[in-house]
Amino acid sequence: MRRLTIQYRDLGKMPYQKAWDLQERLLKANVDLKIAAGRSTKAGEVDTQSYLLFCEHPHVYTLGKSGKVEHLLLDDASIAKKGISFFKINRGGDITYHGPGQITGYPIFDLEKLKPDLGWYLRTLEEVMIGLLAEYGLKGDRIKGATGVWLGINTHNPRKICAFGVRCSRWISMHGFALNVNTDLSYFNHIIPCGINDKGVTSLQVELGRAIDVKEVKEGLKRHFVLQFGLEYEGMERSSTV
Catalytic residues: 194
Q: What angle do CA 106, 139, 219 make, to 5 degrees?
A: 40
Q: Is 152 exposed, middle or buried (0-12, 13-18, 19+ CB in 10 A)?
A: middle
Residues 106/175, Cβ–Cβ less than 8 Å: yes
Q: Is 116 exposed, middle or buried (0-12, 13-18, 19+ CB in 10 A)?
A: middle
Residue 23 and residue 10: Cα distance in Å, rounded?
A: 13
Q: Which amino acid is at 209?
A: G
